[in-house]
Chain A
Amino acid sequence: MAQDTGRPSGTHQDGNRLAGPLSEILRAEPTTAWWRCPDCGRSGPLAELHVYGPEPGLTARCPACSRVALRMVPEEGHLWLSLGGATGAFRFRTA
């Protein structure tokens, strides 16, 4: 986590990376949230999701089968969040 972008392609971070942006809209701690993949059945804490980004947005995927778990785009004064892989997102006001 003590790093910058500028990493090689196709690599990822993990769900720990989502703690900051999600703290803008969630009152509960996000990284320990339990999650289960509807495709392959893998389960675990949000911290273990594979996270791609941060630009142009953050995409969190199942560590086993890569199914999209959430997408998030911070924008000035707002945070866009889509849970699951389907179209449909929430825009939260953060400022």
Chain B
Amino acid sequence: MKTNDVILQTATKVVFFIIFLFSIHIFFAGHFTPGGGFVGGLLTTGAIVLLLLAFDLKTVQNALPFNFMIVTAIGLLLALGTAASSLLFNIPFFTHAFDDVYLPLFGVSALHTAMAFDAGVYLVVVGSTITMIQTIGGDS
């Protein structure tokens, strides 16, 4: 899928980062305002899809040299690990914990284990959708 569209490519170089940052924002905002790991992951996917449309598969693979299958695996492991970690404290499976913690630079922040679980969701969504897109797109 060789394209040579200067306007699209130039715009993509800027827009990609905007969408990506927005997806990160959406991801973190999730617990209190609309958003979350699922939407965040999809938005990141959308950003990468834009890259794929503007450039070709090879270029994107060089720019983002991850094996997205492994990203999926890490995400699943993170989600399952978060859910299972409560067992270590003899608390039922999937019990979340949260507290307000003072962090340097951020001040008092609400930390929640649901965030780690959501990060797992985020990684799985990005990993598996990009895997699918790359495989289908790369198939000749």
Q: State yes or no: do A and B come from one complex.
A: no
Show the binding face of A for B, using Cβ within 8 Å: none
Show the binding face of B for A, using Cβ within 8 Å: none
